[in-house]
């Protein structure tokens, strides 16, 4: 059982004193989270007693960090002019760096951090994310995702650290500590999505998780327990169903397990538009404390809950519990004393020291799957062809949740690409063959970069609603490789992807193969390892599939099931030192 957060009696008294002064409308207002642009005017923020503001995809709060801070400070001033002066929480989907702000440091997505297995590094990355989020006006991030993905067809595999509860728990702990534990630059972290998000049948985002209660507890709960023990401020409910019940309305798991058994005393926040999607007042009765009342849900939510309380459908105690949890975190994170963003942090966004940590994370995340014929490390004076659009595009190398919700297909400010890194290190000729068809027969080696276009959430599901992606490389990307191998040129393949893909044939064809995940803004870190300045350290955070046939059942090859033999097991990874898996 999780260790109970030390009760701070003084703080609890302050919270209770405030609650005792609040009207029902003010309490429901605290439970409301709105978008900063479409749902509400600054005046409404006051009159509807809003508790929190979210920024995610959509119009930006301004054109630079100063303007973002000013916009949020203006909203904060509005609520601070109300009777009870309860400050707002500003939340953001900063899931691999402050990825909603162009120019911030963008870290590898969590799957890459899982491959590093380095908790100190994860803590540093989270602390930098917190600082850069704070510098853009936020005090709350919706990260880390601590899912245990069990099927690569799920479009959010990359948001999670790994398929292994032990590794994920260790990194979840480091991430929460990094986000929250660094004094004035800390922000509230969110463990998400509770529970079963990555373990739905056939990897469907928001689908049904049919694991038994024992399996849920054994496989999925440990990272939440670790996050709670580290004092995580909030936990987000998941879109999926479990036992046929939408998780948002699952009282036995939210109130029974999470709040009572695991003694989580923070905020259970809903996911997007949950009130109208998952059973209205049922979600409040199940234990949701704060609701993303977005995209037109706000009035319906506030009026619906008010009537339900007046009719006795929701108890006042339940409302008080929700408000208590929200206010407790506002006190804990010093919002009453320090409600405004700190201008002095702006100059720290994307600074070289932060990028150096991100570059280290890129280097340590790379998993070497094959290295034959002495193709790696690359020689500085070799003549090298660098192949494919993914080699020179920081948008493509960063995946979803980068500048935009669905990611970017173009390069963005402050980032470096894989090609730029290779050019920095090479003293020989480097030819860029963007579409894999250049007439280059006399190069010593081709570095071919293949991958998945960026995606987020259900857009990335394979075989789902959108069905935009596949478990194999596209024909075009397969050709980049065969064009070179057919010429007898040595090839190093770099795979940019949010999950393991079926690459069995391409692995055979190539001399070396590197899983690089979604490295983020510091693409040049890859070259430091390719040229042997650093050794490979990354280990597979997932079992690697051998064939699309591996996906006939509910789950792919995974940590819990050895009936589907993987091509490479969890933990596999070669290096220069030994060139064997250790």
* Active-site residue set: 271
Under the binding rule (CB under 6 A), the answer on residue 192 touching ligand BGC is yes
Radius of gyration of the chain (CA): 24
**How does DSSP assign 274-319, residue by residue?**
HHHHTTTHHHHHHT--BEE--TT-HHHHHHHHHHHHHTTSS-HHHH
Quote the least distance from Cβ 479 to ligand BGC, whole Å: 35
**How does DSSP assign 474-520, residue by residue?**
-HHHHHHHHHHHHTT-EEEEEEE-SS--B-HHHHHH-SEEEE-----
Site map (CB under 6 A) of ligand BGC, residues 475-494, x = contact:
--------------------
Q: Which sign, positive or negative, has the C-alpha torsion 142, 143, 145, 146?
A: negative
Q: Which sign, positive or negative, has the C-alpha torsion 572, 392, 100, 294?
A: negative
Under the binding rule (CB under 6 A), the answer on residue 425 touching ligand BGC is no
Quote the least distance from Cβ 401 to ligand BGC, whole Å: 9
Residue 425 or 458: which CB sits closer to ligand BGC?
A: 458
SS3 50: coil
Selection from 524, 532, 517 nearest residue 355 by Cα: 524
Quote the least distance from Cβ 277 to ligand BGC, whole Å: 11
Residue 512 contacts residue 492 (beta carbons within 8 Å): yes
d(CA 375, CA 549): 31
Long-range contacts of 424-428 (CB under 8 A, 24+ apart): 424/524, 424/527, 425/378, 425/380, 425/527, 425/528, 425/530, 425/531, 425/533, 426/378, 426/380, 426/381, 426/382, 426/384, 426/531, 427/380, 427/381, 428/379, 428/380, 428/381, 428/382, 428/383, 428/384
**How does DSSP assign 166-199, residue by residue?**
HHHHHHHHHHHHHHHSSGGG--B-EEEEETTGGG
Quote the least distance from Cβ 57 to ligand BGC, whole Å: 7
The 8-class DSSP code of residue 265 comes to -
Using CA atoms, how far residue 6 sits from 2, 10, 141, 167, in Å, is: 12, 12, 23, 26
Quote the least distance from Cβ 96 to ligand BGC, whole Å: 13
Residue 272 or 432: which CB sits closer to ligand BGC?
A: 272
Quote the least distance from Cβ 402 to ligand BGC, whole Å: 14
Selection from 389, 411, 379, 401 nearest residue 456 by Cα: 401
How many binding residues for ligand BGC (CB under 6 A)?
A: 7
d(CA 300, CA 287): 19
Sequence-distant (6+) residues with CB within 8 A of 530 are 376, 377, 378, 422, 425, 447, 492, 514
> How far is C-alpha 117 from the geometric centre of its chain's CA atoms?
16
Residue 404 or 485: which CB sits closer to ligand BGC?
A: 404
Under the binding rule (CB under 6 A), the answer on residue 93 touching ligand BGC is yes
Site map (CB under 6 A) of ligand BGC, residues 379-398, x = contact:
--------------------
Residue 192 or 318: which CB sits closer to ligand BGC?
A: 192
Quote the least distance from Cβ 142 to ligand BGC, whole Å: 4
Residue 221 or 294: which CB sits closer to ligand BGC?
A: 294
Sequence-ordered alpha helix ranges (H) in 311-417? 316-332, 352-365
Under the binding rule (CB under 6 A), the answer on residue 470 touching ligand BGC is no
Quote the least distance from Cβ 55 to ligand BGC, whole Å: 9
Report the residue from 265, 271, 289, 528 that binds ligand BGC according to the rule CB under 6 A.
271
Residue 28 or 141: which CB sits closer to ligand BGC?
A: 141
Quote the least distance from Cβ 280 to ligand BGC, whole Å: 19
Q: Which two tokens stand for residue 67?
A: 């303007």
Site map (CB under 6 A) of ligand BGC, residues 134-163, x = contact:
--------x---------------------
Under the binding rule (CB under 6 A), the answer on residue 354 touching ligand BGC is no
Residue 163 or 271: which CB sits closer to ligand BGC?
A: 271
Residue 105 or 234: which CB sits closer to ligand BGC?
A: 234
Selection from 318, 297, 310 nearest residue 48 by Cα: 297
Residue listed under structure tokens 């691999």? 96
Residue 48 or 192: which CB sits closer to ligand BGC?
A: 192
Residue 92 or 492: which CB sits closer to ligand BGC?
A: 92
Q: Which two tokens stand for residue 105?
A: 């440091």
SS3 418: helix
Question: 184 pairs with which residues across the strands?
Answer: none
Report the residue from 457, 461, 522, 524 that binds ligand BGC according to the rule CB under 6 A.
457
Quote the least distance from Cβ 270 to ligand BGC, whole Å: 9
Q: Is the peptide bond before 377 cis (omega within 30 degrees of 0)?
A: yes
Report the residue from 5, 14, 56, 474 that binds ligand BGC according to the rule CB under 6 A.
56
Under the binding rule (CB under 6 A), the answer on residue 272 touching ligand BGC is yes
Interacting residue ranges for ligand BGC, rule: CB under 6 A = 56, 93, 142, 192, 271-272, 457
């Amino acid at each position: 059982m999780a260790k109970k957060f030390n009760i701070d009696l003084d703080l609890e008294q302050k919270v209770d004193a405030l609650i005792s002064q609040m009207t029902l409308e003010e309490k429901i207002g605290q439970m409301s989270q709105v978008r900063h642009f479409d749902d509400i005017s600054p005046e409404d923020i006051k009159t509807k007693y809003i508790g929190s503001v979210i920024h995610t995809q959509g119009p930006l709060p301004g054109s630079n960090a100063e303007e973002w801070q000013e916009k949020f400070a203006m909203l904060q001033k509005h609520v601070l002019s109300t009777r009870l002066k309860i400050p707002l929480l500003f939340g953001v989907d900063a899931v691999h760096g402050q990825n909603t702000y162009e120019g911030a440091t963008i870290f590898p997505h969590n799957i890459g951090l899982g491959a590093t297995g380095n908790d100190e590094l994860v803590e540093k990355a989270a602390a930098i994310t917190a600082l850069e989020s704070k510098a853009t006006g936020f005090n709350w991030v919706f990260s880390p995702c601590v899912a245990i993905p069990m099927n690569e067809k799920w479009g959010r595999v990359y948001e999670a650290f790994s398929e292994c509860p032990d590794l994920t728990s260790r990194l979840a702990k480091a991430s929460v500590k990094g986000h929250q534990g660094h004094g004035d630059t800390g922000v509230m972290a969110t463990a998400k999505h509770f529970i079963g998000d990555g373990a739905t049948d056939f990897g469907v985002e928001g689908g049904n998780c049919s694991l038994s209660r024992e399996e849920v507890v054994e496989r999925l709960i440990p990272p939440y327990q670790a996050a709670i023990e580290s004092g995580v401020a909030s936990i987000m409910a998941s879109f999926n169903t479990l036992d046929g019940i939408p998780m948002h309305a699952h009282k036995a798991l939210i109130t029974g397990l999470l709040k009572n058994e695991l003694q989580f005393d923070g905020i259970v926040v809903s996911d997007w538009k949950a009130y109208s999607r998952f059973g209205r007042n049922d979600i409040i009765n199940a234990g949701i404390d704060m609701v993303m009342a977005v995209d037109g849900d706000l009035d319906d939510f506030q009026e619906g809950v008010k009537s339900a309380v007046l009719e006795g459908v929701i108890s006042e105690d339940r409302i008080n519990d929700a408000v208590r949890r929200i206010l407790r975190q506002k006190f804990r994170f010093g919002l009453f004393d320090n409600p405004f963003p700190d201008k002095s942090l702006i100059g720290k966004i994307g600074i070289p020291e932060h990028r150096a940590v991100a570059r280290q994370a890129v280097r340590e995340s790379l998993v070497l799957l094959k290295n034959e014929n002495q193709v790696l490390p690359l020689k500085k004076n070799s003549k090298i062809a660098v192949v494919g659009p993914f080699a020179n595009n920081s948008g493509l190398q960063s995946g979803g949740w980068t500048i935009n919700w669905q990611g970017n297909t173009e390069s963005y400010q402050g980032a470096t690409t894989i090609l730029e890194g290779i050019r920095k290190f090479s003293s020989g000729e480097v030819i860029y063959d963007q579409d894999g068809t250049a007439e280059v027969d006399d190069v010593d080696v081709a570095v071919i970069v293949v991958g998945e276009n960026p995606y987020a959430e259900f857009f990335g599901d394979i075989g789902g609603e959108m069905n935009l992606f596949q478990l194999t490389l596209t024909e075009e990307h397969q050709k980049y490789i065969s064009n070179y191998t057919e010429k007898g040129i040595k090839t190093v393949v770099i795979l940019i992807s949010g999950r393991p893909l079926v690459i069995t044939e391409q692995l055979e064809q190539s001399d070396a193969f590197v899983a690089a995940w979604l490295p983020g803004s510091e693409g040049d870190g890859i070259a430091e390892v390719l040229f042997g300045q650093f050794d490979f350290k990354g280990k597979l955070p997932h079992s690697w599939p051998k064939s699309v046939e591996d996906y006939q059942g509910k789950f792919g090859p995974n940590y819990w099931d050895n009936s589907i033999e993987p091509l490479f097991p969890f933990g596999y990874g070669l290096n220069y030192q030994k060139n064997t898996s250790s």
